[in-house]
Amino acid sequence: MWFRDRQDAGEQLAAALRPYRERQPYVLAIPRGGVVVGYVVAKELGAPLDVIVPRKLRAPGNPELAIGAVAHDGTVYLDQALVSSLRVDEDYLRQEASEQTEEIRRRMRLYRGDRPLPDLAARTAIVVDDGIATGATMIAALRAVRGMRPQRVVAAIPVAPPDGAQRLGGEADDVFCLHRPMMFYAVGQFYDDFAQTTDDEVIALLRRREVERAAGGEQASSGPDR
């Protein structure tokens, strides 16, 4: 295994991202597991921490298979080859996107309350997850973050299959992926401990980072670090 747990993955990823410490970084983590990794990265870089909440679009009759993803702002990414091969029609895609968007709204309220979205102007937005398989949710997240007009967009993940990591190259200005194994079945196979992260843990980590930044006298900005 390459990672003991998400804490270890975050430490390794933070070391690779250290050059961004002086580039006004803002860490946006994908719940749930990505927030554990993102918290470590944000703390090491002295950065604010917030969440970006994409949801995969499930294939008809196979909810584990992602045919795309949608983000909080309505950004939709579709794997067109997969959509075509499965003959997924427009009505199904609209309905699935609508259902997942509603779940995104619920999670955004749960994790962030009514706080405004962060102001990413002049910032380097670092989008973090605990790993990717197809990359669909990360791509939707990156596109949504790009729409928030940061100075630079960075994708940061501990592990991904080579083709998944390659897809991110067209979406982010920089891609940091620590491992790109050819034999890839699931993200969890590369962790000794890949226990499910709870909503309560996500909320606690966001609050902890807020308290740390306030105690350290770091400059406040929009988002959970206010």
Domain boundaries, the chain: 6-213
CB contact set of 108 (below 8 Å; sequence gap of 6+) = 51, 53, 72
Is the separation of the CB atoms in 142 and 127 below 8 Å? yes
Each residue's pLDDT, cut to its tens digit, for the chain (226 residues) gives: 689 999 999 999 999 999 999 999 999 999 999 999 999 999 999 999 999 999 999 999 999 899 999 999 999 999 999 999 999 999 999 999 999 999 999 999 999 999 999 999 999 999 999 999 989 999 999 999 999 999 999 999 999 999 999 999 999 999 999 999 999 999 999 999 999 999 999 999 999 999 999 987 564 433 333 3
Q: Which two tokens stand for residue 90?
A: 């427009």
Is the separation of the CB atoms in 74 and 142 below 8 Å? no
Is the separation of the CB atoms in 125 and 41 below 8 Å? no
The second-level CATH assignment, the architecture, of 6-213 is 3-Layer(aba) Sandwich (3.40)
CB contact set of 226 (below 8 Å; sequence gap of 6+) = 115, 210, 220
d(CA 84, CA 78): 10
Q: Which three-class secondary structure state does DSSP give residue 197?
A: coil
Residue type, 95: Q
The β-bridge partners of 3 are 191
pTM: 0.92
CB contact set of 61 (below 8 Å; sequence gap of 6+) = none
